[in-house]
Amino acid sequence: MKQKKQIEILVRGVCVKRGQILLCQSVGAANTYLPGGHVEFRENARAALEREILEEMGVKSKAGRFLGCVEHAFRQRGRWHAEINLLFELRIPSLSPDAKPKTREEWIAFRWCPLTLASLRTAHLEPAAMISQLSQGLSHSAGFASTPDVWKAWTGK
């Protein structure tokens, strides 16, 4: 059976407090990722991020400045996936790095991680292409990152 090829549009939040960044992890997985999710048809990206945070964590948030875009392709359970991640600053006033963030969904967990190159690498943050940019802080203007040879990996060309 030939796999249907599509590119998913995801929105991700960069929530940083006191040198810690909020990460999400699927239960049992080795990698982490920024909180967020899929942008639905006829939904703007900021609204999608705020909706996803409310659904997954049960708290209100505010999507802020656009930080950039990360193109990513990977294999999961033998199938190729391709995605475009739109990154925004994310403010969640009710959260603090002093407490473990709560989840409303059994298949994911949230945690705080020091915003350093070494810690993000140890956390296996995906897409890995954004680790160095995140560890340099949020003062940079919007940018673009891509998994090395992302489409070469997808097409074999």
Which residues, other chains included, contact 61 with Cβ-Cβ below 8 Å and sequence gap of 6+? 13, 15, 49, 50, 53, 54, 90, 91, 92
Instruction: Answer yes or no: is pLDDT of 143 > 80.
Output: no
The answer to the question of residue 34 being in a domain is: yes
The answer to the question of residue 27 being in a domain is: yes
**Number of domains within the chain:** 1
Q: What is the pLDDT of residues 105-125, one digit of tens each?
A: 999 999 999 999 999 999 999
The answer to the question of residue 122 being in a domain is: yes
Q: What is the pLDDT of residues 92-107, one digit of tens each?
A: 999 999 999 999 999 9
Sign of CA dihedral 33, 37, 38, 39: negative
Q: Specify burial of residue 104 (Cβ count, 10 A radius: 0-12, 13-18, 19+).
A: exposed
Q: Report the CATH number at residue 79.
A: 3.90.79.10
pLDDT given at position 27 = 94
The answer to the question of residue 157 being in a domain is: no
The answer to the question of residue 1 being in a domain is: no
How much is the pTM?
0.87
Which residues, other chains included, contact 154 with Cβ-Cβ below 8 Å and sequence gap of 6+? 73, 80, 82
The answer to the question of residue 140 being in a domain is: yes
Domain that holds residue 136: 7-150
The answer to the question of residue 106 being in a domain is: yes
pLDDT given at position 64 = 95
Instruction: Answer yes or no: is pLDDT of 73 > 60.
Output: yes
The answer to the question of residue 76 being in a domain is: yes
